[in-house]
Amino acid sequence: MLMNLNRRLFLIKQLLVILPTLLILNGPVWGGKEPQRIVNTPVINPDGGIFVRSVKVGISTTTPGAIIRYTLDGNDPTDTSSIYKGPFVLDSSKVVKSKAYKKGFQSSKLASAQFIINHPSVCGNGICEKDETFNSCPRDCKPIPTKGFFYGRVTEKVSDGSEAIRPIKGAKITAESAFILLEGSGTMPEPFHYETTTDEQGYYTLTVMTIRDITMYRVTVEKEGFTSQSKIQGIKGEEKVEINFSIEKFSPPVCGDGVCEPAEAGDICPLLPCRPESCIPCYSCPQDCHPDPVCGDGVCNLGETHDTCPADCKPIVNKGSFHGLVTEKILGGDREIILPITGVKITAEPAFVPTNNKSTILPPPYYETITSDDGYYKLAVDTSDTGILYRITAYKEGYTSESIIQSIKSNEVAEINFTLVKTSPPVCGNGICEPGEEGDRCPLCIMEPCDIPCYICLKDCFR
């Protein structure tokens, strides 16, 4: 019995010695398979986020000898996807997905990272970028049209004492952009013009375009044998604005009969308060409605001033003044140096000039001065109690020009400072809209195209 026990112990010891060899050569003695190892999950660096313009992306794994594959199209990578060979640059928003592979190993788990690339807009590069609009960058972006609607009714004004309403069929309704406000040196589009006619009951609907938050339109009704009538109205977006007209019949006027009849006296007068000598004439028959002024008749007629006829006209005392400092910005290393500029030309003109096809265009008031040795200036202008908008411009050869629109009232003193930068002479035709090529004195017009172009070099600045 004891001998059998010792023999059994000997066999167990021998088995323990040869068992590891058997496991290596033949696998587990119970017939199972060895578990397959898994490649470690790749690490994407950085692991996603929001970046400006571009970002460099790297991918790694801690499994030696593993091959990293990745995709940028949103699909999960496979063993045929692009092989990662080194860091790469993303300049647009992408989702990076990656897996690692090694022979004899199970492929890694999926790694994924989202990258959002933002590109700050640059006004003037010829591309209308996401955060740019026609208002903020007219050089690159076209106006986005929206539609508004004028509607209403045209009736006859009866002067027989009755309260009868007589609709007028076939009356012509026109809408023209009254003036277009400019910001800086933006594009001046052609005035918009739309027209329609009234129906049997005198009603009309007129669709118009707006390109800003609000566009001013002059809406006019005309019909032969009736007085015409105009109204200025602002409209924005898809707004619907009601405008009704009541006009009356009239006999054709006779120019030269000494009577200033309705059709001889214009109804489109300037929107700005103005002095008699600077107003645009509102008359189509000067013989009847605007006879030649006679100095000494006790009336300060159109065309007469205190300087030309002190007997009839009082001196104008409605004055305002602009003053300020013009300096040069010099970039010196890590600091800015501000120096006054002498001899800078400062001009002041009304910010918009009304025009009318039926009127004679008179030159608007114009004022100018230059800065002193210490860069200061003072400029007196004519104004009114309600205020006049002026475009104040600082200009000197070799520097950028700058304009600011400012309202000024009687006896008011307004401070306007300018900072100019030296510039090289512009080259027309090089494809770059340089400061000296874009006008800074574009008028804000009424009724018809502006006579003063906004651009000196159309090739570069107006495409």
Mean pLDDT of 422-445: 60
Q: Where are the domains of the chain?
A: 1-34, 43-118, 129-250, 255-313, 319-423
Is residue 259 within 8 Å of residue 349, measured between CB atoms? no
d(CA 180, CA 76): 54
Helix residue ranges per DSSP H, 81-236: none
pLDDT band per the 50, 70, 90 thresholds, residue 39 = very high
What is the pairing mode between strands 418-420 and 319-332? Answer: parallel
Q: Cα–Cα distance between 168 and 226 in angstroms, integer?
A: 10
Query: Structure tokens of 176?
Result: 């023209």
- DSSP-assigned letter for residue 459: H
Token pair for 115: 């990258």
DSSP class of residue 348 equals E
**CATH superfamily of this structure's domain 43-118:** Immunoglobulins (2.60.40.10)
Q: Is 221 helix (H, G, I), strand (E, B) or coil?
A: strand
**Does residue 68 carry a pLDDT above 90?**
yes
Phi, psi for residue 219 in degrees, rounded to 5: -100, 125
DSSP string, 355-418: --TTSPPPPPP-EEEE--TTSEEEEEEE--SS-EEEEEEEE-TTB--EEEEEEE-TT-EEE--E
For the cut 80, the answer to whether the pLDDT of residue 287 exceeds it is: no
Decide: 188 and 138 in contact? Cβ < 8 Å.
no
| CATH (one of 1.10.150.120, 3.40.640.10, 3.60.130.10, 2.60.40.10) for 129-250 | 2.60.40.10
CA separation for the pair 36, 2 (Å, rounded): 46
Q: What is the pLDDT of residue 84?
A: 95
CATH topology of domain 319-423: Immunoglobulin-like (2.60.40)
Report pLDDT for 234. 81
Who has greater pLDDT, 112 or 139?
112
Per the model's pLDDT, the better-predicted residue between 268 and 456 turns out to be 456
The set of residues, in sequence order, having a beta carbon less than 8 Å from that of 137 and lying 6+ positions away, is 121, 123, 124, 128
Q: Is 105 left (phi over 0), alpha (psi -120 to 50) or beta?
A: beta
Query: Would 43-118 and 129-250 be classified into the same CATH topology?
Result: yes
Point out which residues pair with 382 in neighbouring strands: 319
Residue 431: strand, helix, or coil:
coil
Give 152-188 pLDDT, tens digit per residue: 999 987 766 666 678 999 999 999 876 544 333 334 3
The per-residue pLDDT for range 205-219, each reduced to its tens digit, is 999 887 655 677 889
Mean pLDDT of 50-71: 92
Mean pLDDT, rounded, of the chain: 75
Span of 23-27, 38-42, 74-78, 293-297 with lowest mean pLDDT? 23-27
Q: Which residues contact 402 (CB under 8 A, 6 or more apart)?
A: 393, 394, 418, 419, 420, 440
Note the pLDDT tens digit of each residue in 390-416: 889 999 888 878 888 888 888 888 899
Percent of the chain at pLDDT > 90 equals 28
Rg of the chain in Å (alpha carbons) = 40
Cα–Cα–Cα angle for 279, 284, 285, nearest 5°?
110
> Minimal CA–CA distance to 269: which of 260, 278, 256?
278
* Cβ neighbour number for residue 316 with a 10 Å cutoff: 14
State the pLDDT confidence band at 22, using cuts at 50, 70 and 90: low
Measure the N-to-C terminal CA separation of the chain; round to a whole number of Å.
113
Alpha-carbon span 123 to 130, nearest angstrom = 11
Give me the percent of the chain exceeding a pLDDT of 70.
Answer: 61
- In the structure encoding, which two tokens stand for residue 409, read together? 């009232």
CB atoms under 10 Å from CB of 432, counted, come to 15
Average pLDDT value for residue range 91-110: 93
